[in-house]
């Protein structure tokens, strides 16, 4: 059974995006915890944490972005949406269009 090179490449990119998503979500959990009021961290500090913990992973994957499918880009966008909600201390079900309108 032959798998086309394009399909094989697509599968490899899906695996790569899933690995990126998992690594980002693990680090994003730290930001979610620290965004709790009891820690008293402001938005600037939480934003800096995001840039160093999660943003660095996404920046590293940036050269591959043109090769990602629309579905994979949506997976990465979901990570950023979650991060913005945590940093701005919004409810987890705040719609994405409102999240991005406020930034």
What's the confidence (pLDDT) of residue 95?
Answer: 80
Question: Residue 2 above 90 pLDDT?
Answer: no
Summarised one tens digit per residue, pLDDT across range 8-56 is: 556 678 898 999 999 999 999 999 999 988 988 999 999 999 999 999 9
Q: Which of 76, 81, 72 is nearest to 59 (CA)?
A: 76
Query: Rounded to an integer, what distance in angstroms lies between the CA atom of residue 19 and that of residue 85?
Result: 22
Domain residue limits, the chain: 1-100
Question: Residue 7 above 80 pLDDT?
Answer: no
Q: CA-based Rg of the chain, rounded to a whole angstrom?
A: 16
- The residue with greater pLDDT, 85 or 99, is 85
Work out the pLDDT band at 1, boundaries 50, 70, 90.
very low
Are 46 and 34 in contact by the 8 Å Cβ rule? The answer is yes
Question: Residue 103 above 60 pLDDT?
Answer: no
Alpha helix segments (H runs only) across the chain:
5-34, 43-50, 56-61, 70-87, 96-101
């Amino acid at each position: 059974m032959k798998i086309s090179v394009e399909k094989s490449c697509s599968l490899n990119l899906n695996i790569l995006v899933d690995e990126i998503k998992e690594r980002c979500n693990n680090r994003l959990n730290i930001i979610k915890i620290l965004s709790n009021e009891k820690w008293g961290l402001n938005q600037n500090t939480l934003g800096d944490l995001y840039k160093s913990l999660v943003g660095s992973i996404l920046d590293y994957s940036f050269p591959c972005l043109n090769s990602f499918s629309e579905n994979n880009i949506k997976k990465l966008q979901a990570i950023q949406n979650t991060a913005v909600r945590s940093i701005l201390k919004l409810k987890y079900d705040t719609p994405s269009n409102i999240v991005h309108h406020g930034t």
